[in-house]
Chain A
């Protein structure tokens, strides 16, 4: 049973990585090159970003070197991820519930990374009872308390909002509630494990240390074990749902909303256009299918459907 528990842990991590990989691969494979579909403001436009301007405001812009402010992109993404800026600006009633919920998750995710580092430090000889580890332990225990409370409060708030807002209720499916309940349970079990154990950090670090050293020692806290089991489920479940936006947001922002690279600056894209135009088209409407003969996008684009064929 103990080994099974650890196996589930490995599977959860591997499952998350695989599912995220599959989703990202599917996105990348969907098209060799999609059209430009940018939406302003685009944050890498430097001083123009303030008012939503673009390089296309410049005379003969194609003759100028292309300047991209990567720092602008990073700043915008951090503002969005850390503060949920768009929700704050456009849906404040949701933000007051969603923000603590997300902060709670960030706390636990960040905490997990710190614990992972602590486990590796232990592996490389750092005294688990030493001062540094004690300090890290106190930080983690504080983060877990705040994080789990945030998830519970935010999660309950989000359910309440979905139940009581007339608009949101119509669009909420059983899965929305299920997801929120699962997170709340995860938070409650984490909080209980924190409350009824001498140190949550000790439990977490020991588990991760055992995981990386293949030492399948039994768990000492039932609450912590249940908390982890729910966490394993979430790791696999998140990429399978709309919550996959945790990693897909990179693409919806960087590749689509801010994806403004003109073809004149990209030799790679020049080739990709030629590739894509060779795809066969099977749309059935008369103005595309014409005489029904197989055709590529090149054939379609170079055909005038109003011209009568001369035999």
Chain B
């Protein structure tokens, strides 16, 4: 299919448009299986527009009549018109318009995309594929430019075009590596996000993990995890107790300390999935003698902001509540924990969305930690980390914020066998779970992450450790971002790479705690050697 795929196929092909042949997917040095696609059920095919490929993220209901088809198209066009108005899209309109008008169709962006490469260079995964469909629709049906078909190419607009374009917006990790390569400054990642916005903000179509279970749950319960303030405080208290026992150091995590210097903003997913991360932060901040606190105010104990992946209104609402909580506590700054998109949402995006009088300065935890580690406030023994360590660069923090060196300064100081991945720093590749995919598991999304989106990262990891692959040597993948960790965990678990390769993964703070001399040795667990470690 890939050799014949044309842009206009989105509006003409009946049924599933693209099939990704698993045999086309590149093999890696580590034993990483491809995961067979599960076929859609007859019921899904009957009721859902699963007509792009083997994956369905949006579950757009299949129109049952001509009227429903027209309604879908008209809603889409209405949203597209609004997307190009200053009032509705002042936040992104200049970037949107330049990316619509000045692309030279040179395809320089294709080679930069991990999805294009790891799908076996499937045409659908060219970063420009969805953008070009979007452009043609805009020029022909919204802007109605003279000679649009001749100038920009024809594109029939029907319900299939709309449904497939919506899905196509979710075949992108929004890592913006493609934008980095564009000679003109066109941003296909931005266009994917703008399409997501159009679907969410006008049509009410979004992935349920990002919306109902994500931003809406965040605003309803206080956290996208569903944890209420009481539950969070209880859980953190348990974490303190557990890790006091594990580390041999009394840990106390403060909540709601009025006038503290720092409000630490964790991704609440850490509390449930990686309590060692929460404990490590508490231990480090406590031992460094910082004046700090967590907030137990609804929304403010969860730094995630899934709005940045699909919806500007949700982004603004959550960012505002984060700022307000910090204002109420009277802290001097917010330090953002190990969560990449929380970094970008609150530091960069919110900077020109939230009125300045409501803003509280934000700092990356990498910077705060660098200051602690380099100032000598902790007693650290690098020999405790004497195993190969590599560092994953979360796109949101590194390519999109330019925070590159602080985390490296720390690792160079505490991990004698640190080695970079190929394409590190701002040239990094997405973990494969970026833009919300790390929290989605249905309709072949986990297969997609394993087969395509997460594959390049595993190639990088395998290359970084190529001299010590296998079960003999313990190896640590430092991924200081919650969603990235989730993605890496899944790949390691699914392919049994813990035992086959003796990998452990975790954040930066765990590596620091592992080197602290007043902590019981062996804080980081290598599951491949669990017996030996215990």
Q: Report which A residues bind B (CB closer than 8 A).
A: 26-27, 29-42, 45, 48, 51-62, 80, 84, 86-87, 89-91, 94, 98, 165-168, 170-176, 241-245, 248-249, 251-253, 255-257, 260, 262-264, 269-270, 273-274, 276-277, 279-288, 297, 300-307
Contact = CB atoms under 8 A, between A and B. Distances in A.
A167 B97 contact: no
B184 A249 contact: yes
Interface in B158-191: 176, 179-187, 190
Interface stretch (B364-372, B490-498, B513-521): B364-372
Contacts of A241: 151
A60 B361 contact: yes
Nearest to A87: B183
Given A31-B86, A274-B355, A279-B87, 5 more contacts: A170-B6, A173-B151, A251-B94, A284-B201, A285-B200
A306 B220 contact: yes
A36 B185 contact: no
B124 to A, nearest CB: 11
A287 B216 contact: yes
Contacts of A300: 313, 316-317
B91 A62 contact: no
A53 B403 contact: yes
A275 to B, nearest CB: 9
Given A245-B184, A301-B316, A27 B98 contact: yes
A171 B359 contact: no
Q: 8 closest Cβ contacts across the A-B interface?
A: A252-B185, A54-B402, A52-B426, A306-B220, A91-B108, A86-B183, A40-B402, A171-B105
Contacts of B398: 40, 52
Give the residue among B94, B105, B179 with the most A Cβ atoms within 10 A.
Answer: B94
Contact of B87 (A86, A89, A282, A303): A282
Give the residue among A174, A176, A242, A264 with the most B Cβ atoms within 10 A.
Answer: A242
B202 A90 contact: no
Contacts of B314: 287
Contacts of A242: 101-105
B88 interface: yes
Interface stretch (B246-254, B287-295, B344-352, B379-387): B344-352
B361 A62 contact: yes
8 contacts: A31-B89, A35-B348, A39-B176, A51-B405, A57-B402, A279-B88, A284-B202, A301-B353
A98 B104 CA distance: 11
A300 B219 CA distance: 13
A173 B102 CA distance: 14
B406 interface: yes
B401 A56 contact: yes
Contacts of B352: 33-36, 263, 269, 273
A245 B88 contact: no
Interface string B107-145: 111111000000000010010100010000000000000
Contacts of B200: 285
B102 A244 contact: yes
B87 A168 contact: no
Give the residue among A168, A172, A301 with the most B Cβ atoms within 10 A.
Answer: A301
A274 B109 CA distance: 36
Given A32-B90, A34-B94, A172-B105, A45 B368 contact: no
A186 B75 CA distance: 45
Contacts of A27: 94, 97-98
A217 to B, nearest CB: 37
Nearest to B93: A30
Given A279-B87, A285-B201, A304-B219, A59 B401 contact: no
B147 to A, nearest CB: 8
Contacts of B355: 270, 273-274, 277
Interface string B325-336: 000000001000
B12 to A, nearest CB: 15
Nearest to B6: A170
B317 A301 contact: yes
Contact of A173 (B94, B150, B367, B426): B150
B349 A36 contact: yes
B104 to A, nearest CB: 5
A88 to B, nearest CB: 9
B399 A256 contact: no
Nearest to B131: A171
A56 B108 contact: no
Contacts of B111: 90-91
Given A56-B401, A90-B108, A281-B87, A256 B316 contact: no
A244 B356 contact: no
B47 interface: no
A305 B201 CA distance: 13
Interface in B232-283: none
B400 interface: yes
Give the residue among A260, A263, A300 with the most B Cβ atoms within 10 A.
Answer: A263
Given A249-B184, A297-B316, A36 B202 contact: no
A56 B367 contact: yes
A76 B103 CA distance: 20
Given A56-B367, A269-B352, A306-B216, A91 B86 contact: no
Contacts of A281: 87-88, 313
A51 B78 CA distance: 43
A286 B354 CA distance: 23
B169 to A, nearest CB: 15
B531 interface: no
B153 interface: yes
Contacts of B90: 30-34, 276, 279
Interface string B385-404: 00000000000001111111
A273 B152 contact: no
A94 B106 contact: yes
Nearest to A89: B181
Interface string B189-224: 010000000001111100000010000100110000
